[in-house]
Amino acid sequence: MLQNLLDIKELPKNLDSTDGLAAAVCHFYNSKNSFERTKYSSWSSFVNKNKDKIRGS
């Protein structure tokens, strides 16, 4: 899984390093993080909160 997720070309000889990396990736995905996306209930709410992303009219 890590090989595909992180585009690792070849596995290291010492698999302890991949175990540590796997633990870190699991921790990242299971914790609240600053990369969490805001959820919008409609296009109107998205537009109202992201006026800087809208071009033209």
| Span 5-54, pLDDT tens digits | 888 888 888 878 888 889 998 988 888 766 667 788 999 998 898 888 88
Instruction: Report how far residue 29's alpha carbon sits from residue 35's, in angstroms, rounded to the nearest whole number.
Output: 10
pLDDT at 8: 85
- Per the CB < 8 A criterion, the answer to whether 11 and 18 are in contact is yes
For residue 2, give the nearest of 15, 52, 13 by alpha carbon.
Answer: 15
pLDDT at 23: 92
Name the band, by pLDDT with cuts 50, 70 and 90, for residue 57.
low
Instruction: Report how far residue 16's alpha carbon sits from residue 24's, in angstroms, rounded to the nearest whole number.
Output: 13
Phi, psi of 4, rounded to the nearest 5 degrees: -75, -45
Instruction: Report how far residue 37's alpha carbon sits from residue 56's, in angstroms, rounded to the nearest whole number.
Output: 25
pTM, two decimal places: 0.47
